[in-house]
Amino acid sequence: MNFFKVGKYFTLVDMPGYGYRAPQDFADMVEAYLQEHQNLKRTFLLVDSLVGFQKADHIAIEMLEEFGIPYVFVLTKMDKAPKGLLVKNVLEIQDFAEKHTQGCFPQLFPVSSIEYSGIHLLRCFIAHVTGNLPMMNS
Ligand SMILES: Nc1nc2c(ncn2[C@@H]2O[C@H](COP(=O)(O)OP(=O)(O)OP(=O)(O)O)[C@@H](O)[C@H]2O)c(=O)[nH]1
Ligand SMILES: [Mg+2]
Q: Which ligand is nearest to the CA of 116?
A: 1
Residue 47 and residue 82: Cα distance in Å, rounded?
15
CA-proximal residue: ligand 1, atom 21 (nearest): 17
Of 102, 14, 86, 23, the closest CA to residue 55 belongs to 23
pLDDT above 70 for 5? yes
Q: How far is the CA of 37 from the centre of ligand 1 (A)?
A: 26
Residue-wise pLDDT tens digits, 43-54: 999 999 999 988
Residue 112 and residue 107: Cα distance in Å, rounded?
17
Third-level CATH fold of 46-138: Rossmann fold (3.40.50)
pLDDT on residue 57: 87
Q: Give residues (CB < 6 A) around ligand 1.
A: 16-17, 46, 76-77, 79-80, 112-114
- Residue 82: count other Cβ atoms within 10 Å of its Cβ: 10
Residue 112 and residue 76: Cα distance in Å, rounded?
6
pTM for this entry: 0.92
* Cβ neighbours for 2, distance < 8 A, ≥ 6 positions apart: 13, 14
Using DSSP's 3-state secondary structure scheme, residue 104 falls into strand
Q: How far is the CA of 63 from the centre of ligand 1 (A)?
A: 24
Residue-wise pLDDT tens digits, 85-122: 999 999 999 999 999 999 999 999 999 999 999 999 99
Q: How far is the CA of 75 from the centre of ligand 2 (A)?
A: 14
Provide, for the chain, the percentages of residues in helix, strand and coil under a 3-state DSSP scheme, each rounded to the nearest 5.
40, 20, 45
pLDDT above 80 for 20? no
Residue-wise pLDDT tens digits, 28-42: 788 889 888 888 999
Instruction: Delimit the domains of the chain by residue range.
Output: 46-138
